[in-house]
Amino acid sequence: MHFLRKFQFSDFNQAKTAFLFLPSVLLYENRMFVKNRRAFIEKILLEDIIMKKSLSAVIAVMVAVTMMGCASSSKKSQSEAEAEGANASESTVLVEMVSVKGGSFSMGSESGESDEYPVHGASVGSFKMSKTEVTQAAYKKIMKKNPSYFVGENLPVEKVSWYDAVVFCNKLSAYEGLTPCYTSGGTTDTSKWAAQAAVTCNFNANGYRLPTEAEWEYAARGGTAKESFLYAGSDSIDEVAWYEANSENKTHEVGTKNPNSLGLFDMSGNVWEWCWDYYSEDFYRGGSQKDTKGPSSGEKRVLRGGSRSNSYGDGSSVCRVTNRNYANPSERYYLNGFRVVTAD
C-alpha cells in the first residue's frame, strides 16, 4: 500500500538528512521518479542560494508502508514490499501504454505487395499498446545491456532478435509484478530457457507481450477510427515517420513525429517492429479471421512498420500500414526493434 504525504522543512540540512537516509521515502519531481537522491536534494539548495530565498521546501513523496497482517508463509518482507513499490513507481517511466478498444476492420491491401492481399475481415479484442517503440533506456533498465548501433536513452532499441523481445517482455512483467505471457521448456523464467527453443504465449496473462500482426495493423490504422491513411496517422509520410528520405540514415528519438489518432508514435518508420506471428506469404488467403494469432507454425516471424532505411526508392512504401516483412527470429539486425502490448 502506498499513500502520498507532504513534508515541509524550514532547514535544508534537516530535509537533506531525512531524504538521504530514509530508504522508504521515494522522491518525485514533475511526476518523475528521482533516481539520484543526493543530487536532487543538493539541487534544491543550489536553487535556493541562487534565488536568494529562504528555504521552505515542500516536497511530495511516496512513502512505502508495509501492511502488517497475520503471519503467513506467503507474506512479503518489508524490503521486498519497498522494492516492489519502487518498481511500480518507475514502471510508468519505462513503458507508457495507450488503450486500444477492440473491433473489426479490413486488413490488408489490394494495391500492395502480393502478401498483402486479399483484403479480408479481421477482429481483435481490446488491449493496451506502448505509446512508442521500446526505448534503449527501458531496455537497458530491464535487460542490463544495450545492443543498439545508434546509442541514446530515448532512441528506440535495435539490434534485438525476436527472442530478445519476448525475454524482455517476461522480465518487464516480472519487474512490475505481472504474470509473464511467455513459456519455454515449461517455465516462464527466461534464465532457464534453452537458446532459440519453442515459445508459447498465454494471451490471457496480464503481462507484457508482442502484438499480433492483426493487433499491430488495427492499432496503426487508429483502431475503431478505421483510418484509411497510407501511413500511421497520415497520407503524408514526412508528418509521421522517419524513413529513408528524411532520417539521414540514423534512428531518431521516439515520439518526435506526429502520432496517429490513438496517440501512438512511430508506427510508421524509425525501426521495424517484431510481432508475435509466424510469417506466411499466403496467410491472408484463408479469409476472414477472428482474433487471429497468425499461423500455427513457421520459420520466420513478422516485422511491421518499416524503418529509417530501405534500399527501395525513397523507402516510403515499406512504411505503409499494410506492408509486411519478416526475419529469422534469432536475427539481430540494426533496423529491427519492437513495442509491447498488454491485456486491457
User: Within the chain, what is the greatest distance between any pair of CA atoms?
Assistant: 73
Q: Report, as an integer, the average pLDDT of 214-220.
A: 98
The span from the CA of 220 to the CA of 257, in Å, is 14
**CATH of range 97-343; options 3.90.1580.10, 2.30.22.10, 3.40.50.300, 3.30.70.20:** 3.90.1580.10
Give the per-residue pLDDT at 290: 80
pLDDT (tens digit per residue) in 135-161: 999 999 999 999 999 999 999 999 999
Q: Residue 224: which of 306, 127, 119 has the closest Cα?
A: 127
CA atoms within 13 A on the CB side of 93: 19
Q: Mean pLDDT across the chain, nearest whole number?
A: 82
Tell me the three-class secondary structure of 88-154, residue by residue.
HHHHHHHCCEEEECCEEEEECCCCCCHHHCCCEEEEECCEEEECCCCEHHHHHHHHCCCCCCCCCCC
pLDDT (tens digit per residue) in 270-296: 999 999 999 999 999 987 788 789 999
Cα–Cα separations (whole angstroms), residue 132 to 136, 247, 253, 290, 323: 12, 17, 10, 26, 19
Domain ranges of the chain: 2-83, 97-343
